[in-house]
Amino acid sequence: MQFESLQLIEPILKAVKEEGYTTPTPIQAQAIPIVLKGSDLLGCAQTGTGKTAAFAIPIIQLLSAAPATNQKKKIRSLIVTPTRELAIQIGESFKAYGRHTHLNGTVVFGGVGQSPQVTALKRGVDILVATPGRLLDLMSQGYISLHDVEIFVLDEADRMLDMGFIHDVKKLLAALPKKRQTLFFSATMPPEIVKLAGSILHQPEKVSVTPVSSTVDIIQQQVFFVDKGNKISLLLEILNDKNIKTALVFTRTKHGADKVVRTLQKHHIKAEAIHGNKAQNARQRALANFKAQTTRVLVATDIAARGIDVDDLEYVINYEISNLPETYVHRIGRTGRAGARGTAFSFCDAEEKEYLRDIEKLIGKKIPVVESHSFPLTDHHPVKAPKQQQGKRNTGYSGHKHSSNNSAKKNYGKPKTPRY
């Protein structure tokens, strides 16, 4: 199927072509016709499936087909998404797909000064992309009115609930016109999401793509069993492979992310962290450096990384495995975007083995194990291991130096490098 067969207007077809897209992704092929005919939509899809274009393209088409009658522009479409990064990326997508139309839009999110956002709003926008907190804030100050919203999109609803935005969402819903078109997207559909969707959608058509397991199928996944204290050495060994131009590394905590970055920097690997403790502009800068490949390794926590969209990101490394199996899918979904190649490595210590089992259950397959690497797991029962011994094993993660009798160092450049 081609974009031409979706009855799209010329300015959109042109923009899509300029983006380099040739065929619609499955979510686009299914969702675009539904949105174009004005129906509500319940979409079960995660980022990486092309879902942003699946709603942005038909919204642009609907709004440009029926131009606003009012003199001053009013917000006709509102897209609410949980994180700043997602908001910015959605804003960029609208700009890209709508560049040959007269429509304009802006993005509002917290953590930055509000005055440039207020200035943009005062000029008048057709499309507003927002995170919930700043949106409500600007509404309460009278800078935003939702009275004229025709199409409302709730993006990443499951994440929204996870992040505690349910009350904000309810407040927004109360401020939206009853008569509107609503598009609801969520990567997962737990009961509370189904309930929320039921309460805000009107006779929705359902679209579900790439169930978790099939999305991850195109990503080459491998697991390395390794002692906790040797993870940094294993990471250094893997990064010794110059074919790895960039890698997104996930840690569980902000502190852990900073620690990994410091150690990589000491080993002259350009690395930056992206997490909630970083100021918004520092996060944006880190992301821009990573996209430009001036930073080779971006170390991220889950919330900060949600929605990070880096074209051609080939490597995702789970430095620590999350206890939530769905997080694994979201993490590795940063690579292999829209059918591109991707590789995901997971470092699994003894404590994380049960998380790995949950992940394998969710994705419905065993993740191949890399047997021959320099730091095989020795500490099978970390809880029972005497403290003294654990400390000994931890020498690989001693911070500033990579001890010279460390096996990683000895193996650098030797043929017996891990098979990955």
Determine, following the binding rule CB under 6 A, whether residue 52 of this chain makes contact with ligand AMP.
yes
Residue 53 in contact with ligand AMP, rule: CB under 6 A: yes
Interface residue with ligand AMP among 30, 47, 210, 301 (CB under 6 A) is 47
Shortest approach of ligand AMP to residue 12 CB, angstroms?
12
Under rule CB under 6 A, residue 309 binds ligand AMP: yes
b (16+ CB within 10 A) / e for 51-88: bbbbbbbbbbbbbbeeebeeeebbbbbbbbbbbbbbbb
140/411 Cα distance (integer angstroms): 61
Pairing of strands 41-44, 181-186: parallel
CB closer to ligand AMP, 261 vs 305: 305
Which one among 50, 98, 132, 396 touches ligand AMP, defined by CB under 6 A? 50
Q: Which of 11, 12, 21, 201 binds ligand AMP (CB under 6 A)?
A: 21
Which of 41-49, 123-131, 161-169, 317-325 is the region at the interface with ligand AMP (rule: CB under 6 A)?
Answer: 41-49
Residue 48 binding ligand AMP, by CB under 6 A = yes
12 binds ligand AMP (CB under 6 A): no
306 binds ligand AMP (CB under 6 A): no
The answer to whether residue 24 forms part of the interface with ligand AMP (CB under 6 A) is yes
Judged by CB under 6 A, does residue 49 bind ligand AMP? yes
Q: Taking CB under 6 A as the criterion, which residues in 333-362 touch ligand AMP?
A: 337-338
Q: With contacts defined by CB under 6 A, name the span among 19-27, 73-81, 118-126, 144-152 that binds ligand AMP.
A: 19-27
List, edge to edge, every strand of the sheet that includes 271-274: 219-225, 342-348, 315-318, 247-250, 297-300, 271-274
Report the residue number, 7 or 253, with the smaller CB distance to ligand AMP.
7
Could you say which of 51, 228, 254, 275 contacts ligand AMP (CB under 6 A)?
51
Give me the residues that bind ligand AMP (CB under 6 A), please.
21, 24-25, 28, 47-53, 309, 311, 337-338
